[in-house]
Homo-oligomer: A and B are copies of this chain.
Amino acid sequence: MIAAFAPATVSNVSCGFDVLGFALDAPGDLVIAEPSSEPGVVIRAIEGDGGRLSRDVGKNTAGAAVAALLQHLQAARGVALTIQKGLPLESGIGSSGASAVAAVVAVNELLGRPASSAVLLACAMQGEVAGCGAAHPDNVAPSLLGGFVLARQVSPPDVVRLPVPEGLACALLHPHLRVNTGESRALLGDMVPLKDAVRQWGNLGALVAALYTSDRALLARSMVDLVAEPKRAGLVPGFYTVKQAALDAGALGASLSGSGPSIFALTATVADAERVGAAMQVAFGAISDVGSDLHVSLVGRAGARVVSLP
């Protein structure tokens, strides 16, 4: 019996819409894999999802990801999965991707690690397609690999691991709202003004340079999203107020996490993230009766990992 943990991720990192994500250290999802007498995959149990996730292997991201892995390895083994959701669904922090990643990492360990990271990434993405209808490496890649990951290309996936400046941390506010990913994407439209696109890739290039040079001032200047944030801000009542509260409290930058509703802020230290996160939660609470959770974490370098069961 092997357990693996895969962390939450922030994707669409400001100017890095659809290409840049990073992992937290925690929270995340845990998947326990054990041999099963019947060939293929079964989902033994899912905890923490309020009964909302499908137990049908073909419709569950973790199940489908493991099925893809077994098929890739031509393994005739049977595997039973127990999924412990630590991440809320549809929160914009990579919940479905984390389950898929934890599942393939656990099963790969159970089988003696036959698969490379590239194979695990491809299988986790297949799991997301089955569970969510679409896959993008900007959630599963950082959850698997840790740190910042740039998805240069989706198919076939070509991902680039980027360095994490020492101490860089994240405050993540999860308002208890539902945002439908498809509707959130539809808000963006199909076309973007060229002048905005140019500024977006200028900022993204600068953000990548800032990660390599640990230039926190440049990181802050480059965290400008002209494409997604202006269209999606209305999904979260009080978004701009929360963002301003984060910046006023010392955040390097802040934006929507994934397609929302969560809001992330990057900070130079964990202490900054504690202060920034508290300010974000207070600001949101002053505007909305909707509850919220706050997570504070270093940007997670480790990514998914096998863990001991208690």
Q: Which A residues form the contact surface with B (CB < 8 A)?
A: 15-20, 150-153, 158, 160, 162, 188-195, 197-209, 212, 218, 221-222, 227
Contact = CB atoms under 8 A, between A and B. Distances in A.
B194 A160 contact: no
A16 B15 CA distance: 15
B201 A19 contact: yes
Contacts of A212: 208-209, 212
B205 A19 contact: yes
Contacts of A197: 192, 197, 200-201, 227
B201 A15 contact: yes
Contact of A192 (B15, B158, B194): B194
A205 B204 contact: yes
A245 to B, nearest CB: 25
A91 to B, nearest CB: 23
A39 B218 CA distance: 40
A209 B16 contact: no
A150 to B, nearest CB: 5
A198 B136 CA distance: 12
A206 B20 CA distance: 11
Contacts of A192: 191-194, 197
- Most B C-beta atoms less than 10 A away, residue of A18, A160, A190, A212: A160
A267 B249 CA distance: 47
18 contacts: A17-B201, A18-B198, A18-B202, A19-B201, A152-B203, A152-B222, A160-B206, A190-B193, A191-B192, A191-B194, A194-B227, A201-B201, A201-B205, A205-B205, A205-B207, A205-B208, A209-B212, A212-B212
Given A17-B198, A197-B200, A152 B190 contact: no
Given A152-B206, A158-B221, A204-B204, A194 B190 contact: yes
A207 B198 CA distance: 15
A153 B153 CA distance: 25
B20 A199 contact: no
A35 to B, nearest CB: 40
B209 A19 contact: no
A102 to B, nearest CB: 26
Given A188-B194, A190-B193, A194-B191, A162 B201 contact: no
A120 to B, nearest CB: 21
Contacts of A222: 152
